[in-house]
Chain A
Amino acid sequence: MRRAHAAVIGAAETTEMGKLPHMSQLQLHADAALNAIADAGLKPSDIDGIATAGETPESLALYLGITPSWIDATGVGGCSFLMHVRHAVAALESGHCKHVLITHGESGRSRVAAAGFPHPIAGSLPQQFETPYGTFGPPTMFTLPVLRFLKERGYEQEDLARVAVVQREWAALNPRASQKTLITVDDVMASKMIAYPFRMLMCCLVTDGGGALVLSAADRAADLHARPVYVIGTGESVEGNMISQMEDFSSSKAFRVSSRNAFSDAGITHGDVDHLMIYDAFAHLPLYGLEDLGFCARGEAAAFIREGHTRPGGRLPVNTNGGGLSYMHSGMYGMYALQESIRQMRGIAPAQVEGAKISVAHGVGGMFAASSTIVFANEKP
């Protein structure tokens, strides 16, 4: 049975996004946080729960002047913020706090007071058995399973390119998107080689920005915001921190576990979903996501995209902000997937899906290391 676990009563991104050398990473968190708290009609002193990744709850508490009675510092990469939503739901339901602030900010491009991509600890298993072979960062690790995936599914490299092409169509409708010029499959295939088979336009942007959410109990949400967005289902899982040890190179175990639990928790079927966000650090992720979340049978995701079902006007609009490939990608993109789901549920997205009632945001952390899924609804069940 469907039930509202909690509600988003505040949501906002940083005032500016893109190249922001005049802002430190912590200030990006704070800028988004103050925007989201204002959207909720609250003051920082009303916040009694803090969840964040990249920065720490301590740094946020001090900087914003908040004394929390509940914190969550889950940091598993880009989907941490989706997990924060899941954990916040549990905290609100158990009465640990009343108003949870979740923040993300990342000086991914300008690198002002930013940690950078974490290198494995000396002596850790990835450091011993992966790093010596030249796996420096996501472009050479997140991509490593993909030739296997393409072979097992019978997909072509052009199917990866088409993901970027369709997302650019969405970005063209979004004034805040970093890249809005329409591109073709040929453009993608002619772009600079990064790590074969991945070319530049199959890889995410590198930008500065942030976003924040305020969550409260569902019962009073309608008094706190004109358009509360309800959390009706959540899921999470991890598989492991070594891409070489991923059990099945053509399917993410964490995607399957997280999404199955979120759908079951929400009491929805795939046909109920009006809008879908699949974290796209690289162009293969929407293909894995469509299959592992169960929207497409194995081997059918590429045709689903080729036939136009995920593009503007399609029956399953996916990554309607333009995604990490064209909208923005500061490093831990999950917050922006959540923000777009919430805009769609509020009816205020630049590329609004008319009449959308249920949105699913699905995130990844690390290189298929972690995953979390959130199901939103704009009507209280």
Chain B
Amino acid sequence: MKTGRPLPVPTPETAHFWEGTRLGELRLQACRDCGHTYFPPRPFCPSCASKKVEVLRASGRGTLHSYVISHLPAPGFEPPYTIAVVKLEEGPKMLTNIVGTPCDPALLRLDDPVQVTFETMNEQITLPMFTIAGGTR
């Protein structure tokens, strides 16, 4: 676990997400009226404005949508490190780090399957990160 990484400050609208990661769950929201599944959290549907929304547990599976390998110095990180956007099986995109795979473009192919993993930062915050499915960890 790296120290010094900037950590999220949860708000009333996102508390369920960070409660979920502490329990090892990746939580999204879905609209009961139009069926839209969405992220980041908000207490209404960004597609149809309905307030009839529910929290759902995502499968944790997705694909590698895009990424950069940063070589820049950053507090809490040791370059190079991979900043990625994954496309979750349920539809939404999420920014994350790819862990467990060297920062080598040959090993990081777009559309490769990814799987969520949870990295505990402190008592309050556990960050969802992703591994390349089938990759070494």
Contacts and interface: CB of A to CB of B under 8 A. Distances in A.
A249 B69 CA distance: 17
A198 B105 CA distance: 13
Interface in B34-79: 40, 65-72, 74-77
Given A140-B72, A151-B110, A133 B40 contact: no
A128 B10 CA distance: 7
| CB-based closest 9 A-B pairs | A244-B95, A128-B8, A196-B69, A148-B66, A123-B9, A195-B68, A122-B9, A134-B77, A136-B74
Contacts of B40: 125, 128-129, 242, 245
A261 interface: no
A127 interface: yes
Interface string B99-122: 000010100001000000000000
Given A129-B40, A132-B6, A144-B83, A249 B71 contact: no
B95 A135 contact: yes
Given A245-B40, A245-B93, A134 B76 contact: yes
Contacts, number: 105
B71 A196 contact: yes
B124 interface: no
Contact of B110 (A127, A134, A148): A148
A242 B41 CA distance: 13
Given A127-B8, A129-B95, A134 B74 contact: yes
Contacts of B83: 133-135, 140, 144, 195
A183 interface: no
A194 B72 CA distance: 6
A132 B65 contact: no
Contacts of A244: 85, 93-95
B131 interface: no
Contacts of A128: 8-11, 14, 40
Nearest to A130: B95
Contact of A134 (B9, B81, B94): B81
Contact of A132 (B8, B70, B71): B8
Nearest to A199: B71
A195 B93 contact: no
Contacts of B94: 129, 244
Interface string A120-157: 00110101111111111101100111111001000000
B32 interface: no
Residue among A129, A133, A192, A245 with the highest chain B CB neighbour number at 10 A? A133
B72 A147 contact: no
A145 B74 contact: no
A113 interface: no
Residue among B9, B70, B71, B76 with the highest chain A CB neighbour number at 10 A? B70
Given A137-B72, A148-B66, A243-B95, 4 more contacts: A133-B96, A134-B5, A195-B72, A196-B80
A178 to B, nearest CB: 21
Nearest to B119: A132
Nearest to B94: A244
A348 interface: no
B105 A196 contact: yes
6 contacts: A129-B40, A132-B6, A151-B110, A194-B70, A196-B68, A249-B65
A72 to B, nearest CB: 29
B97 interface: yes
Contacts of A147: 66-68, 110
Nearest to B18: A128
Given A129-B8, A132-B6, A134-B83, A140 B95 contact: no
B30 interface: no
A123 B67 CA distance: 24
A146 B71 contact: no
B133 to A, nearest CB: 19
A131 B72 contact: no
A193 interface: yes
Interface in A225-256: 242-245, 249
A148 B65 CA distance: 7
A13 B68 CA distance: 35
A195 B70 contact: yes
A365 B71 CA distance: 24
Contacts of A140: 68, 70, 72, 83
Contacts of A245: 40, 93
B9 A133 contact: no
Contacts of B127: 132-133
A131 B74 CA distance: 11
A203 B5 CA distance: 25
B7 to A, nearest CB: 6
Nearest to B14: A128
Given A134-B5, A148-B66, A242-B40, A123 B72 contact: no
